[in-house]
Structure 1
C-alpha cells in the first residue's frame, strides 16, 4: 500500500480529536521545556556579550579621551608598564573598539551608522596583580585622576557574581528543561499508545489486507511530529519575550552590563533550534510507541 498525504493528514486530525486533552498537555509541556531551554541559551549568550571585555583577568578599563595627545597616552602606557601592581594590559585602539561595538550591536544598524571609530575612545584593559575589590578600586582611582583619561570602569565583584550566577542558573534551567522534555516525550508516547489502542481493530484489519508496518506507523509518528512542532512554534514568541526582558536589564539595572544584549538573528536561530528539537522529541516519542505496539 502506498501512503497519500491526504490519508496521513486525515488520520492525524482524527487522532488529535480523540485525545484532545492529552494533546494539549503534551503541547504545553513541550512549549514550557523548549522556552526554558531557549531562555537558558540566550541568557548565556547575553552574559558572554556583556562580560567579553572582562575575560582573562581584566579587572578595570581605562578609557582615554578620543582626542588625547600622543604624549599623554604614552604617559599612561608608561605608568601601566612600570607599576608593580599591574600584571599586564591589553590596548584597544579606536578601530578595535569600533569592531567590537559593531559585533555587539550588529542587529541595530541604525545605531551603528551614527557611530564612527573617531567617536569611540581607545582603552587599556588592565590586569592587576591583586584582584581584591579594594585594591582594584584603589588602582582605578589613581588612573581616573590622570590627564587624558575619560573614564575608568571596574568589574569589581559585580561581573564575577553575574558570571557565577549565570553558570549556576543556566545549568539548573537546562536540567529542568531536559526533565520536562523527557516528560513531554513520555506524554507523546502515551498519547500515541492510546490512539493506537483505540484503533486496534482497524489496525488488525489493515494488517490482514496487506498494510505494512510503515503504512500504519507514519500517521501516528506524524501526529507526534506535529505536537512537537506546535510546542516549538509557540515557544518562539516566548523566547522573544525573554530577549526583551534581557534588554530591560541592560537599560535599567546594571550600567556595567550595557552590552547585555543578544542579536536578533541569534534569537531566531535559538527559536528554530528549539522548534526542531520539539519535532525530534515528538517523532522519537511517537516512533517508540508505534514500534512497541506493532511488535506485540
Structure 2
C-alpha cells in the first residue's frame, strides 16, 4: 500500500506540474549533455596527449647551397664531417632516444606522401627544395629545448623544427573548447538546480493539504518527502537519458571527424563513452534529488 501511495503521489505531482517538469528535464538534459561532452573531450585530449608525447621529435635541417640563414651563408653547405659529428653528438645525449638521417631524396618522397591530397603544393615544390635532415626522437618530450639549444648555430645546421610548438597550439584549442563546454555546463547545472527547487516547491505547495493530513496521521518526515525526492530523481534520470544521445553524437560526429581530418590514430572506445554517460546520469539524479531535498527542508516545514 505504501509503495502504491508513493507512486500515486509521484504521478499526481508530475501531472500537476507537467510544464515545469518538462522544463526541468530539458534544462537537465542540456546541462548534462554539455557536461558529458566536456568530459568526453577531456578524455580525448588526454589520450591524444599521451599518443603524441611519445612521438614528439625534432627535425634538424642541414645547410644546402640554397639555404639563406646566416650560419649557412657563413659556413656553406653541410659537409660529411658536419653530419657525422652532429649525429655522433646527438646519439650521446641522454635526452635523445633515436636519430635518423633523411637524405634530400627521402625528404622529397616523404613530402609527396604527406601532402598527396594537395596537388598544387606538391607541384610548386621541387626535389632539392627540402634539405636533408636529422629526425630526432626524444626520451622525454619536455627536454626538447635542451636538444634544440645544443644544436642550433652549429656548423652545417640550418634550422631546427620541433613538433611541440605545433601541438601546443592544437591542444590549446582543444583545451579551450573543453573548458568552454564545462563552464557553460556548470552554469546550466546551477540553473537546473534552481528550476528543480522551484518546481518541487510548487509541487509541495499544491499538495499542502495532502501532506498536512499525512502529518496528522503520524507519517514520518522521510515518508512525506519521498514522493518529491523521487520526482526530482526521475526528472534527472530522464534528462540524463536524453543527454546520453548527445554524448554519443559528440563521439561519432565531432571527435571521430576531427581524427579523420588530422589523421589521428587515437580513437576513444565505447567504454569511455559509457563511462561518461554513466557519470552524467548519476550526476543528474544526484543533482535533482539534492536540490529537491534542500528545497523541501525550507518550504515543506515537516
- Same fold flag (TM > 0.5): yes
Q: CA deviation at 1:80?
A: 5.2
The structure 1 residue matched to 2:95, chosen from 88, 98, 109, is 88
Corresponding residue for 2:42? Answer: 44
Give 1:70-219 correspondences, 5 Å limit.
82-83=89-90, 88-90=95-97, 125-126=137-138, 127=144, 129=146, 138-139=159-160, 155=163, 157-219=165-227
* C-alpha distance in structure 2 between counterparts of 1:213 and 1:230, whole Å: 26
Q: CA deviation at 1:285?
A: 0.8
Corresponding residue for 2:282? Answer: 276
* C-alpha distance in structure 2 between counterparts of 1:263 and 1:222, whole Å: 33
Gaps of 5+ in 2: 61-82, 99-134, 139-143
* C-alpha distance in structure 2 between counterparts of 1:190 and 1:177, whole Å: 20
* C-alpha distance in structure 2 between counterparts of 1:78 and 1:275, whole Å: 60
* C-alpha distance in structure 2 between counterparts of 1:9 and 1:80, whole Å: 77
- Does the CA-based 8 Å contact 2:29-2:243 persist in structure 1? yes
- Does the CA-based 8 Å contact 1:61-1:125 persist in structure 2? no
Corresponding residue for 1:254? Answer: 262
The structure 1 residue matched to 2:19, chosen from 21, 24, 37, is 21
- Does the CA-based 8 Å contact 1:232-1:274 persist in structure 2? yes
Q: Residues 272 and 170 of structure 1: is their aligned pair in 2 closer, same or farther, counting only changes over 3 Å?
A: same
Q: CA deviation at 1:57?
A: 9.9
- Does the CA-based 8 Å contact 1:22-1:191 persist in structure 2? yes
- Does the CA-based 8 Å contact 2:59-2:160 persist in structure 1? no
Q: Does 2:301 match 1:295?
A: yes
- Does the CA-based 8 Å contact 1:232-1:275 persist in structure 2? yes
Q: Does 2:218 match 1:220?
A: no
The total of aligned residue pairs comes to 232
Corresponding residue for 2:10? Answer: 12
Q: Residues 61 and 269 of structure 1: is their aligned pair in 2 closer, same or farther, counting only changes over 3 Å?
A: farther
| Structure with greater Cα Rg | 2
For the aligned residue pairs, the C-alpha RMSD in angstroms reads: 3.2
Q: Deviations over 1:68-93 (max 9, x none)?
A: xxxxxxxx999655139x772346xx
Given the two structures, how large is their TM-score scaled by the length of structure 1?
0.69
- Does the CA-based 8 Å contact 2:197-2:291 persist in structure 1? yes
Gaps of 5+ in 1: 63-75, 92-122, 141-153
